């Protein structure tokens, strides 16, 4: 699929698995989908941050179809409920997850220098309560359309709202685990139009 937004041809792996679905139990099918489909969703996902909703929805439809394949649900089943049952983060949350992990690595000196240089801790002129929240400085962006999608701008947008207990995690493994739990709860508590809306027209062949 490369770095582009997926279209019908990117359902190829889902169709391949669907032909053998009746011979697979749920854990095995889940493992196949995570190995063959999820990498397509995760490839270069920080670049998808800030994309228009109609483009991200195309990625979400791929994940929704994969969730229906694993669970055996029909096309009218709630995508949000299926993702929740599989403990999968929706596409928007996966993008935020990757950016937050990159920020954590930058802050702790575990990322490449060219990324670390784009992240600056917020240091107030006076001693304020906010200085204890391990926030990042929000840069001034001239080009609102593309500049706010850059890592320099996306990093504080994703990092600053995180709970303090999460920001000060002792190691990367703990941070990743708690971050996924935090985003999972956050996206499942949201009301209204959620990030998993939209019913795919892809039909799985028996």
Residue boundaries of the structural domains of the chain: 8-91, 94-189
Contact 29, 44 (CB under 8 A): no
**Residue 52's pLDDT band (cuts 50, 70, 90):** confident
Per-residue DSSP letter, 11: G
Residue 159 burial class via C-beta count within 10 angstroms: exposed 0-12, middle 13-18, buried 19 and up: buried
3-class SS at 136? Answer: strand
As a whole number, the mean pLDDT across the chain is 82
pTM score: 0.80
Q: pLDDT at residue 27 above 60?
A: yes
Q: Which residues pair with 136 in a beta bridge?
A: 121
pLDDT band at 8 (very low <50, low <70, confident <90, very high): low
Q: Could you give the angle at the alpha carbon of 27 between the alpha carbons of 26 and 32, nearest 5°? A: 95
Q: How confident is the model at residue 65 (pLDDT cuts 50, 70, 90)?
A: very high
């Amino acid at each position: 699929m490369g770095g582009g937004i997926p279209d019908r041809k990117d359902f190829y792996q889902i169709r391949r698995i669907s032909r053998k679905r009746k011979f697979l139990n749920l854990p095995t099918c889940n493992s196949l989908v995570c190995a063959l489909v999820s990498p397509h969703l995760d490839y270069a996902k920080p670049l998808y941050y800030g994309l228009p909703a109609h483009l991200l929805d195309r990625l979400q439809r791929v994940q929704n179809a994969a969730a229906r394949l694993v669970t055996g649900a029909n096309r009218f089943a709630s995508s949000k409920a299926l993702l929740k049952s599989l403990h999968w983060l929706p596409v928007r949350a996966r993008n935020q997850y990757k950016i937050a992990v990159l920020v954590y690595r930058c802050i702790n000196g575990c990322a490449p220098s060219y990324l670390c240089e784009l992240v600056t801790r917020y240091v107030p002129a006076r001693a304020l309560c906010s200085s204890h929240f391990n926030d990042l400085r929000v840069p001034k962006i001239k080009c609102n359309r593309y500049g706010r999608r850059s890592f320099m701008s996306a990093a504080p947008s994703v990092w600053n709202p995180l709970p303090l207990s999460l920001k000060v995690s002792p190691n990367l493994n703990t941070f990743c685990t708690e971050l996924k739990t935090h985003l999972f709860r956050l996206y499942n508590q949201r009301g209204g139009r959620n990030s998993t809306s939209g019913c795919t027209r892809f039909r799985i062949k028996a």
